[in-house]
Structure 1
């Protein structure tokens, strides 16, 4: 666990040298792809999107 913490600290301290932004982009893409594979997008409509946006605005 300490090795992970040390590596993370290095990446945060020198984010450009460790390509942190690219690594975070890749992780986000993987997360979104996995989410899209699990979530049935056929149920999403403009009405659903509006409801979700309204919930986000009110909370």
Structure 2
């Protein structure tokens, strides 16, 4: 089994995202929809996404 680190981000209105990280992939899904779609990104793309959302958040 691949070792992963799991993080759950909760926002005040109960929108949640689960983020699991391995050395080569960052996976993101809605924590309320366990069988739903999963977005898989390479770590560099995830970092770019996080940086973009940090600078463009309202």
Give me the TM-score of the superposition, normalised by structure 2: 0.35
Richer in strand (by share): 2
Richer in helix (by share): 1
Give me the TM-score of the superposition, normalised by structure 1: 0.35
Q: Which has the larger radius of gyration?
A: 1
